[in-house]
Structure formats: structure tokens, C-alpha cells
């Protein structure tokens, strides 16, 4: 049988182990047990579905609560921000008012600290009408300030005049007693005093100035000027005698009142 073909093989023989221990087959379930198991699986599946739905509802509720809470938080933050803005604006307004008040107070203090220092000169004018030409001169603030300016310009130049003009002023003139008060800055009062001493005439009438008092405050100046003016008026009344008129007395009294009401 050496020449036989491979296709003519021997048939398979069953294994001895298979013959001794055959493979177990799955037992068939009764129809009632199968229905019970099927119902059990369906109930569990339904329960899981319900539980899933409840969880989804809880999650949705939580999300809704979170949305509401977030909205309330946003509204609270917005209200707090608005309140903070109003408080900041109120504080800024208060700070601005305080700053403005402080600035005004500092300005007042600055003005008080750096106000100009002046000198007040009480001077008497001697008029030599006998040597003059024309009518006797009547003293006024305008003609006195004119001759003082001309003298400052003549003796100290335009720069000296410009420096003195800032505070130069004739505060008071009494045409009866020939008394006047001249205000000038503390730095320039000696220069103005020298220029006044150089004045020789008002118009065509020879005049001369004599310094009676120099004060640093208007209060001291008024006191000295009032004493000098009253004393000179008493001399004038003695010299005039009965020729003094009631109008001249009233004019002198009004001049005294003007001295008392002088301000710097």
C-alpha cells in the first residue's frame, strides 16, 4: 500500500477521552423561569432609566439653581460696584471740596504772608504865594501826585518811576491845613522821599514839602496825621480870628472824618 495516494487516508477515529467523558450540554430553561428572568432584567433596566432621569432632573435643577445664584451674585456685585462708585464719587466730591477749601485758605494765608509792605508819610506843604505868579494854588490829590511823579522821573529816571508807581498814592489832602498823606512801598520810600524834597513848585507857585511822620501801618499814620492836622487847624483858627467862616470849619471837620476812615 506504499503506492496508494494521499487522498485515500484513513477515517478519523474518536478520541478515547471523548468517548469516556462526553461534553456537557446547556440545560433548557422552563418557560416560566425564562419569563421571570426577562421581567427582572426589564425592571432593573427601567429602574436604571428612572434613576438616570432623576439624576438628570437633579442636575438640571442644580444648574438652574446655580444660574439663579450666579445671577443673584452678579446683581449683588453690580449693586456693590454701583454703591462703591457712588461712595467713591461722594468721597471725591468731598475731597475736591476739602481741597478747594484748603486751597482758598492757603491763598488767604499766602496773601496774608506776602502782602506788600508800605510806608505812610505825613507831610505838610508850604506855599509861597507872594513869590508866585498867578492865582494861589489849591492843593489836590491830582496836582500833588503829578509833581511827585515828575520829580521821580527827573531824578531817578523812568526805571525808578516804574518801580515806585506800584504803590505810590496820595491818600489824603487837606487844602486848609496843607497836610497830606502819601503811601509808598517800603523798598522805595527813601527814593520817593528824596524826590518829594526836590519838588520846588506846583504850577507857577513855589512850594516845599516837610516830612512830619513816617509810619509802617495805616493805624499809626491816621493817629499821627489826625494830631498834626488838628494842631495845624488850631493855628489856622488863631491866625484867621473872626475871619474864619463856618464853611471852612465844616470842611476841616469833614477832612478829620476822612482821616479816621482811611484804609490801606
Choosing from 63, 89, 115, the residue where a domain stops is: 115
Residues 128 and 224 in one domain: yes
* pLDDT tens digits, one per residue of 188-207: 999 999 999 999 998 888 99
| DSSP assignment letter at 172 | E
pLDDT of residue 239: 85
**Environment class of residue 201 by beta-carbon count within 10 Å: exposed (0-12), middle (13-18) or buried (19+)?**
middle
Same-domain status, 131 and 158: yes
Cα of first residue to Cα of last residue in the chain, in angstroms, is 160
CA distance 104 to 86: 26
User: Residue 140's closest CA among 176, 184, 113, 103?
Assistant: 176
Among residues 115, 144, 162, which one ends one of the domains? 115
> What does the pLDDT read at residue 107?
66
Same domain flag for 184 and 83: no
H or E stretch at 118:
strand 118-127
The reply to whether 102 falls in a domain is yes
Neighbours of 33 (CB within 10 A): 9
CA 53 to CA 58: how far, in whole Å? Answer: 9
**207 exposed, middle or buried (CB, 10 Å; 0-12, 13-18, 19+)?**
buried
The last residue of a domain, from among 115, 130, 165:
115
Domain annotation covers residue 1: no
- 110 and 170, same domain (yes or no): no
Domain count, the chain: 2
Residues 106, 144: one domain?
no
Same domain for 165 and 236? yes
Please report whether residue 5 resides in a domain.
Answer: no
Query: Based on the domain organization, do 220 and 99 belong to the same domain?
Result: no
75 inside domain: yes
SS3 88: helix
- If asked whether residues 101 and 156 sit together in one domain, one would say no
Query: How many beta carbons lie within 10 A of that of residue 8, not counting itself?
Result: 7
Measured between alpha carbons, how far is residue 175 from residues 138, 140, 189 in Å? 6, 7, 24
Instruction: Show the domain range for 202.
Output: 118-260
Phi and psi at 200, nearest 5°, equal -115, -20
Has residue 83 been placed in a domain? Answer: yes
Judge if 93 and 183 occupy the same domain: no
Same structural domain for residues 128 and 109? no
**Do 138 and 250 fall within a single domain?**
yes
Which SS3 state, helix, strand or coil, does residue 60 take? Answer: helix
* Cβ proximity of 185 and 116 under 8 Å: yes
Round to whole Å and give the CA distance between 185 and 168: 7
98 and 213 both lie in a single domain: no
Counting as low any pLDDT under 70, the low residues of the chain are 1-68, 84, 89, 91-96, 99, 106-115, 132-135, 264
Give residue 16's pLDDT: 52
Angle in degrees, CA 193, 196, 199, rounded to 5: 160
Amino acid at each position: 500500500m506504499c503506492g496508494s495516494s494521499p487522498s485515500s487516508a484513513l477515517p478519523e477515529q474518536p478520541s478515547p477521552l471523548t468517548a469516556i467523558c462526553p461534553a456537557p450540554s446547556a440545560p433548557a430553561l422552563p418557560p416560566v423561569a425564562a419569563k421571570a428572568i426577562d421581567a427582572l432584567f426589564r425592571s432593573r433596566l427601567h429602574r436604571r432609566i428612572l434613576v438616570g432621569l432623576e439624576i438628570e432632573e437633579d442636575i438640571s435643577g442644580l444648574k438652574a439653581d446655580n444660574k439663579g445664584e450666579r445671577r443673584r451674585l452678579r446683581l449683588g456685585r453690580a449693586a456693590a460696584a454701583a454703591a462703591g462708585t457712588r461712595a467713591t464719587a461722594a468721597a471725591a466730591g468731598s475731597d475736591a471740596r476739602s481741597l478747594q477749601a484748603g486751597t482758598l485758605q492757603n491763598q488767604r494765608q499766602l496773601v496774608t504772608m506776602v502782602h506788600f509792605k508800605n510806608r505812610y508819610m505825613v507831610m505838610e506843604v508850604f506855599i509861597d504865594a507872594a513869590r508866585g505868579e498867578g492865582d494861589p494854588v489849591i492843593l489836590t490829590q491830582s496836582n500833588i501826585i503829578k509833581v511827585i511823579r515828575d520829580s521821580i522821573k527827573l531824578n531817578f529816571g523812568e526805571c525808578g518811576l516804574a518801580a515806585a508807581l506800584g504803590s505810590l498814592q496820595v491818600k489824603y489832602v487837606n487844602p486848609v491845613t496843607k497836610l497830606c498823606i502819601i503811601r509808598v512801598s517800603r523798598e522805595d520810600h527813601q527814593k520817593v522821599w528824596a524826590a518829594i524834597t526836590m519838588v520846588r513848585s506846583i504850577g507857577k507857585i513855589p512850594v516845599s514839602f516837610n516830612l512830619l511822620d513816617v509810619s509802617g501801618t495805616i493805624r499809626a499814620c491816621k493817629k499821627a496825621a489826625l494830631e498834626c492836622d488838628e494842631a495845624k487847624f488850631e493855628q489856622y483858627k488863631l491866625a484867621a480870628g473872626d475871619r474864619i467862616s463856618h464853611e471852612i470849619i465844616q470842611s476841616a471837620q469833614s477832612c478829620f472824618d476822612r482821616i479816621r476812615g482811611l484804609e490801606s
